[in-house]
Chains A and B, each alone.
Chain A
Amino acid sequence: MAEKTGSLRDISLAVLASLIIILFAIALVNTMTISIPPQEQHRWLSWEFLTSTYNWAVKKTWAASPEVVTSVLWDYRGLDTVYETSVFFLAIIGGLMLVRNYHPGKKYSEKGMSLIARTITKITVVSVPVVAASVALHGHLTPGGGFQGGSIFAVASLLAIVALGSGFLLNRGWSKSRLLGFRTLGLIIIASVALTLPVIGLLDGVKAYVIQNQYKPWAPVSFGYTANIPFLGIILYSGTLVFLNLAEFLAVSAGLSLAFLIISLPREELKKSGGIE
């Protein structure tokens, strides 16, 4: 680095940092987690997951979904994903401190970019959520899922904020309370889907788990995996996965749009509403 080359502090920090990294790397290679070049055969855990999520023959531990990543995320490690979603929820709630005494109702300026950018954005802001919804709702069949769809949706709202001015969304009813309402609706759906099977198990006097997806010999309650829709015929919805993906899509898209709406408030609005004297 050009400046301050001689200062001892920087050099000692650099040596310390590289020492830690090198020890970390040696430890990883010695315990065979990193093998250079990558190993040939499978780890038994990944083989278990890959062969069990869509295994019609052995339905003992299956998740009725060909997409291994989403089924592991929401079925085998469902509780962990619920906590991760609550962490995300609390981070946005913490972010609301920027608008502690923020009083809506004032008409916001819709001073976005040039006319060309505005018209193009008006088209893309409609088409990107369609992509987001398809990514989210096909989460249990093809790569994607609730969070990926939600963040793609948030990029669309970000586009609208930047190109059309944050007033464009605020004046059209994207108020803080409404977005928070959608967030909480998403989390309520997640909570209700997670708790339906235990409640059913309780009523039947049968053992059942939170966020259980399919029938298990030791927990004989299940969400089912195919449904006969009049026009579509028999569809594969793999139990809780499609509902959880939908709820996560709702929660993440509303949460991130709220996060960017807050941060894009005009400077003096932020200063006043931040409550900083």
Chain B
Amino acid sequence: MDAFWNVFLWGYIYSTVIAIIALTVYGMATRPHLVKKLILLSILSDTANLLAVMIGMRKGFIKPPVFPGISYTNHPVANTTQLAKFADTAVDPVPQVLVVTAIVIGLAVLVFLGYVLILLYQKYGTLDVRLLEAKITGKGGKK
């Protein structure tokens, strides 16, 4: 495939990632409802993870970073040529490791924020930021 077609396709993929980041950041800033902000936060963290994996991509025939054909009982010795051929076609494993960690922490944060929202609703009866601000300041109004 010629360079232009490849460049255009990948330029388009990266621009959609950046467009999603822009949309979610904008949505988190302007949408008044806290649960909507939580949903957009989860989309933003997923997009950042995807961007990290995308940086680890390689042109050509890519394979997962797992040496094929090994099981509990069948574990042949892998000589250096096999390893070199495997490493040559495998995709970059480092961003995938970081993203697994990021998913765990993202899930932990979102589960915790879900609880906080329920408690917030129990105490103030609303999750709309504009009403909450009035209620938290005890009808103190705009500072």
| A interface residues with partner B (beta carbon < 8 Å) | 9-10, 13-14, 17-18, 20-22, 25, 28, 33-34, 36-40, 42-43, 45-47, 49-51, 53-57, 66-69, 72-73, 77, 80-81, 84-85, 87-88, 90-92, 94-95, 97-98, 138, 141-143, 145, 147, 151, 226, 232-237, 256, 259, 262-263, 270-271, 274, 276
Q: How far is A213 from B71 in the complex, measured between Cα atoms in Å?
A: 19
Q: Closest Cβ of chain A: how far from B117's Cβ, in Å?
A: 11
Residues on B with C-beta less than 8 A from A50 are 65, 83, 86-87, 90, 93
**B70 with A54: CB separation less than 8 A:** yes
Q: How far is A34 from B136 in the complex, measured between Cα atoms in Å?
A: 44
**A232 with B73: CB separation less than 8 A:** yes
Residues on B with C-beta less than 8 A from A25 are 14, 18
Closest 10 CB pairs of A and B: A91-B108, A66-B67, A50-B87, A236-B75, A46-B92, A66-B70, A38-B57, A37-B10, A68-B65, A68-B93
Q: Which of B7, B97, B118, B123 has the most CB of A within 10 A?
A: B97
**A145 with B100: CB separation less than 8 A:** yes
**A98 with B111: CB separation less than 8 A:** no
Q: How far is A46 from B21 in the complex, measured between Cα atoms in Å?
A: 27
**B75 with A17: CB separation less than 8 A:** no
**B22 with A276: CB separation less than 8 A:** no
B9: CB under 8 A from chain A? yes
Residues on B with C-beta less than 8 A from A36 are 7, 10-11, 14
Q: A37, A42, A47: which contacts B7 (Cβ < 8 A)?
A: A37
For B123, the closest partner residue in chain A by CB is A276
**A54 with B67: CB separation less than 8 A:** yes
Q: How far is A34 from B50 in the complex, measured between Cα atoms in Å?
A: 13
For B71, the closest partner residue in chain A by CB is A141
Residues on B with C-beta less than 8 A from A270 are 118, 122
Q: How far is A91 from B104 in the complex, measured between Cα atoms in Å?
A: 11
B interface, how many residues as a size bin?
A: 35 or more
Residues on B with C-beta less than 8 A from A39 are 58-59
Residues on A with C-beta less than 8 A from B16 are none
Residues on B with C-beta less than 8 A from A233 are 73
Q: Closest Cβ of chain B: how far from A61's Cβ, in Å?
A: 13
Q: Which of A10, A21, A256 has the most CB of B within 10 A?
A: A21
Q: A43, A57, A69, A98: which contacts B79 (Cβ < 8 A)?
A: A57
Q: How far is A203 from B58 in the complex, measured between Cα atoms in Å?
A: 47
For A98, the closest partner residue in chain B by CB is B115
**B108 with A38: CB separation less than 8 A:** no
B84: CB under 8 A from chain A? yes
Q: A17-B25, A38-B10, A91-B112 are in contact. Are A46 and B94 (CB under 8 A)?
A: yes
**A94 with B112: CB separation less than 8 A:** yes
Residues on B with C-beta less than 8 A from A55 are 78, 80, 83
* 22 A–B contacts from the bound complex (CB under 8 Å): A18-B26, A20-B25, A22-B18, A37-B3, A37-B10, A38-B54, A38-B58, A42-B58, A46-B56, A46-B93, A49-B93, A54-B67, A54-B83, A57-B79, A68-B90, A80-B101, A88-B105, A91-B111, A92-B108, A95-B111, A95-B112, A145-B100
